[in-house]
Amino acid sequence: MSRSQDISDAVQSELDFDPLVDPVDINVKDINGDVALNGTVPSYPQYLEAAAAAQRVTGVKRVHNHLMVKLPSPDYRDDAALTTAANNALNWDVTVPAGVEATASDGNLTLTGSVENGAERTAAELAVSGLTGVRNVRDEIEIDVDADPGDVMVMVQDALDRNALIADDSDVKVNTTVNTVTLTGHVHTWAEHDAVVDAAWMTSGVYDVIDDLVITG
């Protein structure tokens, strides 16, 4: 049996094991650690969880999530109802700043507005992702804080140095150009990868993060 087949089987087993995913209509294909998920799932949270499950498997370097959300008929909401529900969820969530708004089109939510950092933008996504009727979330929220790129680079590097998931001998490098952070180097696991990317996004003044990290497995 090839290594790709081993990884595909392991990802499929992880999907079967995860109680938050219905894997019946998910097809897994792997080429040298690049895993593609194809097929359908019945909700947006399952779309997200399927990718997270694949990332937990040893040997997976990248996950290409091509799943489509096919809502059951009882879960369908018209645009007006979903827009209202999404904006209520944003307004009721204390971690989401005022001014962030949502609009719906055929189950696809678009978020707009401005926040101070990536953590607040992620909070807005989380506030609406679990709503009934959501098929996808498009985040167009802007980060509206000016900071010196040199300071941003130092703050991100300090955050990485503090993180228990990142090895002391890590070769991860941080470069900043006009408040866009580029991450390069090697990490062993997806957990380490996510810790690096999250640290970058949590830093005030970061407008964008370019993820050029390599997962070695």
Q: At what angle do helices 190-202 and 149-162 cross, to 10 degrees?
A: 140
pLDDT confidence of 1, banded at 50, 70, 90? Answer: very low
Note the Cα 28 to chain centre separation in Å: 19
On the question of pLDDT at 145 being above 80, the answer is: no
On the question of pLDDT at 36 being above 50, the answer is: yes
Q: What is the pLDDT of residues 123-142, one digit of tens each?
A: 999 999 999 999 999 999 99
Q: What is the pLDDT of residues 106-123, one digit of tens each?
A: 999 999 999 988 889 999
- Give the residue, 11 or 166, on which the prediction is more confident: 11
What is the model's pLDDT at position 4? 61
* Secondary structure in 3-state letters for the chain: CCHHHHHHHHHHHHHHHCCCCCCCCEEEEEECCEEEEEEEECCHHHHHHHHHHHHCCCCCCEEEECCEECCCHHHCCCHHHHHHHHHHHHHHCCCCCCCCEEEEECCEEEEECEECCHHHHHHHHHHHHCCCCCCEEEECCEECCCCCHHHHHHHHHHHHHHCCCCCCCCCCEEEEECCEEEEEEEECCHHHHHHHHHHHHHCCCCCEEEEEEEECC
CA-to-CA separations, 190 to 38, 51, 79, 182, in angstroms, rounded: 21, 11, 35, 17
Those residues whose C-beta lies under 8 Å from the C-beta of residue 140, and which sit 6 or more positions away, are 110, 111, 112
Rounded Cα distance, 215 and 61, in Å: 5
Rounded Cα distance, 206 and 202, in Å: 8
The tokens for 202 are: 């949590």
Give percent above pLDDT 70 in the chain: 98
pLDDT confidence of 17, banded at 50, 70, 90? Answer: very high
Closest CA to 66 of 100, 37, 107: 37
Domains of the chain and any CATH numbers: 3-69 (3.30.1340.30), 75-143 (3.30.1340), 149-215 (3.30.1340.30)
